[in-house]
Structure 1
Amino acid sequence: MAQAQGHYYVPHESHWPIVGSVGLAVSMVGASLYLNGSSVSLWILLTGIAIILFMMAGWFRDVILENESGKFGPAEGRSFRQGMAWFIFSEVMFFGAFFGALFYARVLSVPWLGGDDPSTSRYLWDSVVLAWPTAGPGFGDLEWEPMGAWPLPTINTLLLLTSGVTLTIAHHAIKEGRRAKTILFMWATVLLGLTFMGVQAYEYYEAYAHLNLRMDTGIYGSTFFMLTGFHGFHVLVGAITLLVITLRLMKGHFSAENHFGFEAAAWYWHFVDVVWLGLFLFVYIL
């Protein structure tokens, strides 16, 4: 169904925002009860997560059906691009805050408490010498090791860089109308993303089992797991998104002229790649 010239599609009333709000509320109740040691908290939390997933599947289905029925045109396409650009900007600010916490600890707090400025450190921690990476005062007697850049983080860097290449090949292929090639390289991208997650899970196992590096290992442990963990969550979201896009391609969705859903997923994935390069440099190497 072709869209009328100058028409802008306004979605009908939807119950999905209410369903999502209920899911979020139930999840927060479950999380709060978990922090207070309740025996039923896990089931409540899982119920809330299940409601959220149900909402996402239903809402995304409706949007896909709207797109495939021809309700979206150039005006909606511009809105989608603006919305995705602002979303990625918000993600830049999100990670910017986390990188800011890391830089503040490394450049200001640790040198300040560690004796670089005797006029202040002697009033706070007498005779304490700190240098990054550090767990902070009070953790000096605990044996732990920082996570090195080799081999697991380096392998993950290669995996993500390669996934960026395969995704770019798929993008060029869909613009050329070569659907089979697009699907092939999309599956390769999804596989690389899932492999990254597997390697990161093994990295966390090594951190806990052999390095004694935990989330409560002072400032280094908290910043390490905060940055890498949230990035890993974004990889999970990106991999699921790419998987959905791949399945839609296999069902005949998208064309050489109309494939913004594909492009939005690609923007997000390339953003995740760039963030990882910053993590690899500032968390693992420097």
Structure 2
Amino acid sequence: METLQLTNSKLTWLNGGVNNLDGGAMFGVVPKPLWMKKYPCNEKNQIELRTDPILIQMNGINLLVDSGIGNGKLTEKQRRNFGADEESRLEESLEKLGLTLNDIDYVLMTHLHFDHACGLTRPNGSEYAPVFPNAKIIVNRIEWDEMRQPNIRSKSTYWKENWEAIDEQVEVFENEWSKGNLKLIHTGGHSDGHSIVLIEDEADTVIHMADIMPTHAHQNVLWVMAYDDYPMTSIAAKQTWLQYGLDCNAWFTFYHDTYYRAVKWNQEGQLTETVPREK
């Protein structure tokens, strides 16, 4: 498992599964000859996208960023359509660190689309049960409201199987939630309630832009997904936080990237440091 050690915090990427989605959808209006130079696709035009939660350990607490694709949640048709050929191995990842699912104190949800939220619950007979029974699940209020009452577009990704069992664990916030040197900040864009994670740990800064910059290949502020509900909001948020990170030499971390866990860029957009994903 890859790690990123900060002054007082440690990030570890866990195995949350994988899906393979259409490259055109993931890069929106960007022509294929451009994006495939940065992120190759298979013969079906799909690109590999990890769904790997990030464990953040600081001040004696364990926080998880998003929850993975889960286990036993997708139908055969969904697995085929989403290219989900690997389910979560979260318990095994935590076991290697001497932890269990019961040791997670907070789950920070950047948003509640199925590929981020399926790992919150698991089948339990004819019902579902929480995966992290002792955790508070932190999510933006707008996102939580839409999760429970999706519209005609979002009902394909906001599923009752992913929220009903954890209803009592959820803690919502409006603009910002903080714990120590970590903040969960509402941006909107990819979804109306989408949020990013910011860690400012003495001289170290980490920005996790979640699905407004899902991979290193989405560095260009105009390269946003066709899946984004509010693409201009995504562009504005990415422009703001990308520049913020460049100005303070921040690490940019990823949940979906199959090549890099974290990168640093200089002001010219060149990679200066990386944490590659071990394959």
One fold, TM greater than 0.5? no
TM-score between both structures, scaled by the size of structure 1? 0.23
Structure having the higher Rg: 1
The answer to which structure has the higher helix fraction is 1
TM normalised by structure 2 equals 0.23
* Structure number having the greater strand percentage: 2
